[in-house]
Amino acid sequence: MKTRFMLLISICFIASKSLLAQTNPPLRFYENGKVGYKTNDGKTIVAPVYYAGSEFINGFAIVIKDNLRGYINEQGELKIPLMYRDANPFFNGCASVKFGNKYGFINSKGAWVIEPVYEEVYSFQENMALVKKDGKYGFINAGLKEIILPQYEIASSFSEGLAMVKIGSKFSFINQQGKQVMSRKFDFAGVFHNGEALVGLGKEKFMINTKGKILREVEDHEDHEKEEREERERETKKIK
């Protein structure tokens, strides 16, 4: 009975170590200005030969050598060759990479899911990524489908369900279906944070909510600093 109990303890211990190894990816380390990777118990699995390297995200780390980027897996194997001018972490099984002068998307085997057609690709925010094609900005979803076709001169990533876009000479906000959500247009606009965004109408600046309602006027920062400087100068003259 005791022997069976000890055997069970041993099996559980081995299983727990295996599970721990799976849940704790290798650690990046530096030596002589180069990057390598070690297991959590200190065993080197990738010698420090890379100019730079990322932490592991979704099973892969990006490594750089001779100004080219590739991907290693958690066993330290170079699974996707060093051939890209830029590379980003995997998301939903795909990663954006720059090949030549354009960005496309590859899968975890390095095969193209979307050929390089984009001038710019930004990280996914709220399951949407900002992309630029033929000089215009649009959005793709997590399934890499162009939900909002590239059509904007300027655009921001989605924040709190809305993205800032420039339409003609004015700025507005769209939802993830590409619909404008505010009737009012602005001379400039920022992105939403904590339910508010900075916008401009003429020379005046305001904070608005996600419905487009003006919450308050914002004093111009530069004018405020100028007023403070002038006040300090007046106070100094009084002292003299």
Task: Give me the pLDDT at residue 234, please.
Answer: 52
Is 124 part of any domain? no
Residues 184 and 98 in one domain: no
Q: Say which CATH number the domain at 180 has.
A: 2.40.10.480
Token readout for 44 is 């080197």
Instruction: Provide the number of structural domains found in the chain.
Output: 2
Is 149 part of any domain? no
pLDDT tens readout for residues 90-122: 999 999 999 999 999 999 999 999 999 999 999
Prediction pTM value:
0.77
Residues 162 and 108 in one domain: no
Is 177 part of any domain? yes
Is 69 part of any domain? yes
Q: Which residues, including other chains, have CB under 8 Å from residue 217's CB and lie 6 or more apart?
A: 204, 205, 206
pLDDT > 80? residue 23: no
Residues 159 and 109 in one domain: no
pLDDT > 70? residue 238: no
Domain C-terminal end among 60, 89, 118: 118
Is 183 part of any domain? yes
pLDDT tens readout for residues 73-89: 999 999 999 999 999 99
Backbone CA torsion sign across 64, 65, 71, 77: negative
Residues 174 and 238 in one domain: yes
pLDDT bin (cut points 50, 70, 90) of residue 219 is: confident
Rounded to an integer, the average pLDDT of 201-210 is: 94
Long-range Cβ pairs for the range 193-200 (8 Å, 24+) = 193/159, 193/160, 195/160, 197/162, 197/164, 197/173, 199/171
In this structure, the number of other CB atoms found within 10 A of the CB of residue 113 comes to 13
Rounded to an integer, the average pLDDT of 34-60 is: 97
Residues 85 and 159 in one domain: no
Residues 74 and 161 in one domain: no
Question: Are 130 and 118 in contact, with CB atoms under 8 Å apart?
Answer: no
pLDDT tens readout for residues 120-171: 999 999 999 999 999 999 999 999 999 999 999 999 999 999 999 999 999 9
Domain C-terminal end among 99, 118, 137: 118
Token readout for 2 is 């005791």
Task: Give me the pLDDT at residue 4, please.
Answer: 54
Residues 28 and 88 in one domain: yes
DSSP tag of 127: T
Is 148 part of any domain? no
Could you give the 3-state DSSP secondary structure of residue 237?
A: helix
Residues 167 and 94 in one domain: no
Residues 39 and 86 in one domain: yes
pLDDT bin (cut points 50, 70, 90) of residue 217 is: very high
Is 175 part of any domain? yes
Residues 29 and 114 in one domain: yes
Alpha helices by DSSP H, 78-200: none
Could you give the 3-state DSSP secondary structure of residue 207?
A: strand
Domain C-terminal end among 118, 143, 172: 118
pLDDT bin (cut points 50, 70, 90) of residue 3 is: low
Is 138 part of any domain? no
Rounded to an integer, the average pLDDT of 221-229 is: 52
Q: How far is CA 168 from CA 43, 51, 125, 200, 214, in A?
A: 58, 44, 25, 16, 22
pLDDT tens readout for residues 186-197: 999 999 999 999
Please, what is the average pLDDT of the chain?
Answer: 88
Nearest of 77, 75, 78, 71 to residue 93 by alpha carbon: 71
Domain limits for position 196: 155-240
pLDDT > 70? residue 25: yes
